[in-house]
Every structure is written in C-alpha cells, then in structure tokens.
Amino acid sequence: MLALHTHAKVSGSFPAYPVKVLDLPEALTTNLARNRVAARLPADVTVDLAALASLGFAGVIADAIPRTSPPLPALHSTADPRVVDGGDVIQVRPDGSQVLVLFRRRSTSNSLFITERCNSLCLMCSQPPRQVDDGWRVDELKQVVDLIDPSLPTIGVTGGEPTLLRERLAELLAHVREVLPDTQIHILTNGRLFADPAFVELFEGLQGSVTWGVPVYADVPSIHDHVVQARGAFLESLEGIYNLGAARHAIEVRYVLHKQTMPRIRAFAEFASRNLPFVNHVAFMGLEPMGFAKMNRDLLWIDPVDYAKELGAAVEWLDRNGVATSIFNLPLCVLPRSSWRFARKSISDWKRTYEPICAKCGELDQCGGFFRSTGSDWQSRAVSPIVRGNQ
C-alpha cells in the first residue's frame, strides 16, 4: 500500500504541469521532450547540473537539496521517498507543498480521473460527486497520457461519470488510442447516456480498445433506482448496455454487494444470464467503505460471510450458463472454497491492505485483501488465517 501523493521541498520554480520522472541514464536516452522530463539524480554520483540544465530538462529529483544552488528546479527531501519512482508521471502543486503521482510505472492499476461530476448519487459512492466545472482535466490528462509508458497493458478512466464529458471523453479516448495503441482502456460509467443510440456513435471506432464497466444493481428498476438515487436510471442503463452491445462494444456489468442489493442477487444472476448473455463479464464487487458508503453504513453494511452462500450460487449460475464472472474486493477467508476460483485480486495496489493476522495465512499471496479504508466496523467476523489444504 503506497500512497499516490507525498510532501516534498522545491527549489527553483519546478513546473506545475505533469512531468515524467526518469533515472538519469533513461532520461538521457528517452525520446520524450526534455522539458517534460525530470531527471532523478543518483545518490552516490556527483552530476554536472549545469550540463544537465543545458540539455533542457524540466528539473531534477534529488534525495536532498543539492549543495550548490542548482541551475534548474529541484524536487527534494520527499517525505516518503518510495512514493516517487523512475518512470512515474508526477505533478507538483503550484505552491510546491505536495507531489501527486498521476501514473505509477510499477502499478497494475493506473487510471485517469476525468471528472467529479455525476448524474447519479449512489448510496455507496466512494467518490461523492461535485457539480464543478472541471473540463480542464481533459487537456491535463492528454499531457499525462503523452508521458505514460507505451507498454502499459491497461488503464482505467474514472470519475464521477465520464460520459458527461461527451465529445471530450471521445477526444481523450482517441488520444489514448493514438499514443498507447496497445493499451486496453477500462471505463467506469453508469451507462445512462448510452440509452441514446446517437451517443454511442461518438465512440465508433474504439471497439477493441475499450471496455465499458456498467453497474446494474438488481433485476428490477425499483431497487436499482433507489441505490443510484435516480428514477428511470435502471431502464436507461439497460438500454445503454443494449445499444453498446449492438455496436459491438465490450461490456462488463458490475454488481456491488451490500444490504440493499443482496436480496436480489440470485434473481439478478438469472436475469443477467437470460437478458445480457452478450456482455463480456459480470463482476460482483465488495463495498469500498469510503465517501457516501461511510455515511450510509446502516443502510449498506452486511457481513460478507452472511451473503457468501448466495453469492456463490449466483456466480455458479452465471458460470454454468456461459457468462464469465468474477468476485472482486473480497478476501478469500469470507468465501466458501468453491468460490475461490472466481475471486480476483482486484483492489488497486495503492488501496490494498491486510490485517496483522494475515501474516499467518497460507493463502496470503492469493488473497486480494481489504481496502485500506476498512475499519473495524466494516470487518467481517470470518476473517481468519487459512491453513493451506484445510477447509
């Protein structure tokens, strides 16, 4: 679990735009524009900073402030030096107080946060929306994309609701596809705007590069609309899924597990296998105790061990009916062993944590652990180390 931000000190005027951090040898050979690169200085070698400045680098990253006043901006004395590493894309807040990691080379779960706005208000939203004008993000994200390693296998796009950006979302996706042609894009969307077939056409040509992750929280409108706090949303999302499917887009249906959605889980599995057999994947997801979820704990909390049997029946049903299915965000010890083959290590590496007792667990390497926001009031009574071969 490594945070995506830290504090550091700045000398000189370090750029406020996104820059790529590269260890010195890579910085000297990269094809990236030098004014987009901050060279990370080796700790044990004296570097001619004047020569480096003449090459046009955006700045340098050093463990401590360089002894002589450097001729180019320096970021140094980072509070947690592990946070910023070679290959990452960072942005330094204009006042120099904080460094944000916008892309982490070592991570398997990088994403582009495109907007805080949303047209739903889900009871368990981990990122409560704000109605702000943040259209500037697209231009900044395009700059970030330009600095991402072309070998990146997948990247997420999240919000808020990304489709509210309309043409600008299509513009960003086209840019990702152009700069990172081998990278798969996974977009979290409520899918409501896709109820208009003309809206789907905005994304024509992106088939094969993009998977749309669309939540459906029940097999009936009343429950789904209550969960997302938007009347009519169920029918809009389903219509959107059909329109995306008709346009041959890849779709993942997402079902978040909590007290409001559990009563319909088996019915939902039957509904999905009969009505959505064309989707590529159905994911059942444990709750992230953040944002609105924390505020609505009494409405949402149910110990996962109390729904594990129903969940197991739902995934088995979908599997038997030929629908690829997974369980996300739940540790192995709360699931019956028969469901383990569906469980994925899905929590982003920078959000994932384990309990101290997990050190004794024989399945630690396979287990997806917990969100780091999981306090004791969100912890299952079933968490306990597994002895390999037992159960």
Least distance to ligand SF4 from the beta carbon of 331, Å? 3
Is 343 a binding residue for ligand SF4 by CB under 6 A? The answer is no
Cα angle value 360/361/364 (rounded, 5°): 120
Is 361 a binding residue for ligand SF4 by CB under 6 A? The answer is yes
Return the closest-CA partner of residue 370 out of 290, 306, 297. 290
Q: In angstroms, how far apart are the furthest CA atoms of the chain?
A: 70
Kindly report whether the peptide bond that precedes residue 160 is cis, defined as omega within 30 degrees of 0. yes
Is 346 a binding residue for ligand SF4 by CB under 6 A? The answer is no
Least distance to ligand SF4 from the beta carbon of 327, Å? 13
Least distance to ligand SF4 from the beta carbon of 383, Å? 5
Point out which span in 8-16, 23-31, 155-163, 328-336 binds ligand SF4 (CB under 6 A).
328-336
Residue labelled with tokens 């970030």: 144
Least distance to ligand SF4 from the beta carbon of 308, Å? 13
Is 358 a binding residue for ligand SF4 by CB under 6 A? The answer is yes
Least distance to ligand SF4 from the beta carbon of 38, Å? 37
Where b means 16+ CB within 10 Å and e means fewer, 118-133 reads bbbebbbbbbebeeee
Whole-number Å distance between alpha carbons of 22 and 85: 8
Is 383 a binding residue for ligand SF4 by CB under 6 A? The answer is yes
Which one, 153 or 375, has the nearer CB to ligand SF4?
A: 375
Least distance to ligand SF4 from the beta carbon of 219, Å? 30
Structure tokens at 287: 């709750």
Which residue in the set 333, 347, 351, 374 belongs to the binding site for ligand SF4 (CB under 6 A)?
333
Residues ≥6 apart with Cβ < 8 Å to 95:
none
Binding-site size, ligand SF4 (CB under 6 A): 16
Is 367 a binding residue for ligand SF4 by CB under 6 A? The answer is yes
Is 340 a binding residue for ligand SF4 by CB under 6 A? The answer is no
Is 123 a binding residue for ligand SF4 by CB under 6 A? The answer is no
Is 332 a binding residue for ligand SF4 by CB under 6 A? The answer is yes
Least distance to ligand SF4 from the beta carbon of 158, Å? 25
Point out which span in 129-137, 178-186, 289-297, 378-386 binds ligand SF4 (CB under 6 A).
378-386
Return the closest-CA partner of residue 161 out of 100, 103, 99, 240. 240
Point out which span in 34-42, 118-126, 175-183, 325-333 binds ligand SF4 (CB under 6 A).
325-333
Whole-number Å distance between alpha carbons of 198 and 40: 48
Whole-number Å distance between alpha carbons of 268 and 250: 20
Q: Are strands 184-188 and 210-215 parallel, antiparallel or unpaired?
A: parallel
- For 16, which DSSP code? S
The site string for ligand SF4 over 243-282 (x = CB under 6 A, - otherwise) reads ----------------------------------------
Is 363 a binding residue for ligand SF4 by CB under 6 A? The answer is yes
Point out which span in 15-23, 202-210, 316-324, 330-338 binds ligand SF4 (CB under 6 A).
330-338
Residues ≥6 apart with Cβ < 8 Å to 97:
7
AA letter at 114: I
Structure tokens at 150: 């072309």
Whole-number Å distance between alpha carbons of 157 and 192: 16
Helix (H) or strand (E) holding 141: helix 136-146
According to DSSP, the residues that pair with 353 across neighbouring strands are 370
Which one, 50 or 357, has the nearer CB to ligand SF4?
A: 357
Is 331 a binding residue for ligand SF4 by CB under 6 A? The answer is yes
* 136, 40 Cβ separation under 8 angstroms: no
Is 305 a binding residue for ligand SF4 by CB under 6 A? The answer is no
Q: Which residues sit at the interface with ligand SF4, rule CB under 6 A?
A: 331-333, 354-355, 357-358, 361, 363-364, 367, 369, 383-386
